[in-house]
Amino acid sequence: MIDINLSPEQELIKETARDFANTQLLPGVIERDENQIFPKDEIKKMGELGFMGMMVPEEWGGSGLDTISYIIALEEIAAVELATSTIMSVNNSLVCQVLLDWGTDAQKSKFLTPLASGLKLGAYSLSEPQSGSDASNMKTFAEKNGNSFIVNGTKNWVTSGENSDLIIFFCKTEKGAGSKGISAFIIEKGTPGLTTGKKEEKLGIRASDTCELYFDNCEIPESNLIGNLGQGFSIAMQALGGGRIGIASQSVGLARAALDKTISYSQEREQFGQLIAKFGAIQNKIADMATNIEAARLLVMQAAILKDQGKEYIKESSMAKLFASSTAMSAATECVQVHGGYGYMQEYGVERLMRDAKITEIYEGTSEIQRLVISRELLK
């Protein structure tokens, strides 16, 4: 692994995150995956370490760190458990960042501070049953009613929807206006009319809950509107642009875990009278995995550096997510292949990598959407 001029503080963050992942997450990772156990205690400890609001200034309860520090920590967590890193990523990149960039001081004081300090957990809700990649095709509607809004509709694929304390969600506030009629709101759990649907049975990241949200005449105060009416779609897209840096970093972490397991196994397993690490076919797989991981990490670093410098990074974040997620899926698949029949067994922890990896090519914008974003940026 190449460290690009990491500061002593960033080196400490990496060491702290790696130690936490190996001592606190690793022992229970198979059980949490098998039984879909939300890592409540582990998330609380991550909050105490400052990992749940890493890019939020200290005045709002965060760690006051840069994006590079964030992706360093996220990669280490993802290398052990992608599900927990997903919870961390959503709270940092999509929830805290939206409130930091768009929230009023009152919203920051009430919502951002407890989220960034780890006292509360946030969720982000954009998708609906009929609108996945076509996010602007949402049907959930908020109707103005004096100093409040009445919300009705259904949202789905909500990460941490069951275990979160509050949700940033997007809905229509003006009919027939397309994406310009979408607004962003904060809703707290316990609001009358807000209910969570069943927890989805997922292929991977099973320790991270995903569910539907139902809004039945939910009354939300006008003070919970984020930004201005009609700004919701812009807020959502900006958040996803930054969030994709996090997903790319998660992908690198998972791919690295697959590579480490592949190298370790190849140096233990003997076939035909010698270690399989001596076979050219295995060496080729390891070389390709390692090369792609380093390339993916550099793409993630590039996007993070641009973000920290206040420069345009949307194309670069999509490139990083596209390549890193493909690398994760490929590395996990090859890891299972090298392990053979043992890789198909749960006890080795390899099949989980393969199941978890697939979501990185789907959530926060599919690989197909990333290609559209990249080409649009190049052709504009």
- The pair of three-digit structure tokens given for residue 206, joined into one six-digit string: 């099973």
Euclidean distance between CA atoms 77 and 325, whole angstroms: 16
The answer for residues whose C-beta is within 8 angstroms of residue 106's C-beta and 6 or more apart is 223
* Catalytic site includes residue 364: yes
Euclidean distance between CA atoms 73 and 163, whole angstroms: 22
CA atoms within 13 A on the CB side of 307: 31
Question: Angle at the Cα of 199 (from 197 to 200), degrees rounded to 5?
Answer: 115
Euclidean distance between the first and final Cα of the chain, in Å?
35
- Alpha-carbon dihedral angle through residues 228, 100, 248, 202, given to the nearest 10 degrees: -70
- The pair of three-digit structure tokens given for residue 176, joined into one six-digit string: 């027939």
Given the residues 76, 212, 316, 364, the one annotated as active site = 364
The answer for residues whose C-beta is within 8 angstroms of residue 235's C-beta and 6 or more apart is 98, 101, 102, 170, 184, 226, 227
Q: Please identify which residue in the block is written with the tokens 């009609």.
A: 230
Q: Please identify which residue in the block is written with the tokens 């069951």.
A: 162
- The pair of three-digit structure tokens given for residue 260, joined into one six-digit string: 């480490």
Rounded (to 5) percent helix, strand, coil in the chain: 60, 15, 25
Catalytic residue list: 364
